[in-house]
A = this chain, B = another copy of it.
């Protein structure tokens, strides 16, 4: 342990065994002290509120299972996003109590913090096809410990459906709004609330949608203030920052 090394050095200084000049030189040569980093790593764990989140894309079921087993052994919670059914089958074979959020494509294992907070995060989605991304956001925020509510299928082409829930829109701590195609929903929602809005463009669409680019650009250009945007289809990122905002 480096902390012990420093303690030992200080003890030698206290004991007069090491002159101050030598001790100073030695401390200078520790480029970035281990203590600092240990502290940083600990902070990191504290910060995210979950020891680890696994992004499944590009990993084999075996790799995922190994990670889940390690955390189960540590009795720490863990969850994985973008999980295909085959991955869940493998995880459940190893850890029968693992949970499967099918629409969200999330696997969770272990005991997560209980959702709390007076005001909920409201996750809003435009069309049924945007629901997978919306659920990724909702389940993520929920597993991290936020209270989450949902308001789905309120796309701008039937804008009146949105107005039925005006009160929930106004009362949320923060809103996550997922939409594909023209990505107009965050602008409309942003005009109806005084809460921060996290917009998630989805890759739902075809042709001049360019795999989510149209929704992304629309949201970055939203005329209503109070909106910030995450990457295309990044439900996890939206849920994560929404949790941070709500927890503030």
**Which residues of A are at the interface with B, using a C-beta cutoff of 8 A?**
3, 6-7, 10-11, 13-14, 16, 19-20, 23-24, 27-28, 30-37, 39-41, 43-44, 46-48, 53, 57-58, 126-127, 129, 155-161, 163-164, 166-167, 170, 173-174, 181-184, 187-188, 190-198, 201, 203-234, 236-238, 240-241, 244-246, 248
For this chain, the copies found in one complex come to: 8
Whether A31 and B166, one on each chain, are in contact in the complex, defined by CB atoms closer than 8 angstroms, is yes
- How many angstroms between the C-alpha atoms of A216 and B220 in the bound complex? 10
Q: Are A229 and B232 in contact (CB under 8 A)?
A: no
Q: Is the CB of A221 within 8 A of B198?
A: no
CB-based contact B228/A228 at 8 Å: yes
**Cβ distance A201 to chain B, nearest Cβ, rounded Å:** 8
Candidates B47, B129, B170; contact of A58 at CB < 8 Å: B129
Given A37-B160, A182-B187, A245-B248, the answer on whether A7 and B32 have CB atoms closer than 8 Å is: no
Given contacts A48-B194, A208-B216, A212-B207, contact A156 B223 (CB under 8 A): yes
B-chain residues with CB within 8 Å of residue A225 when the two chains form the complex: 48, 53, 157, 236-237, 240-241
Contact between B217 and A208, CB atoms less than 8 A apart: yes
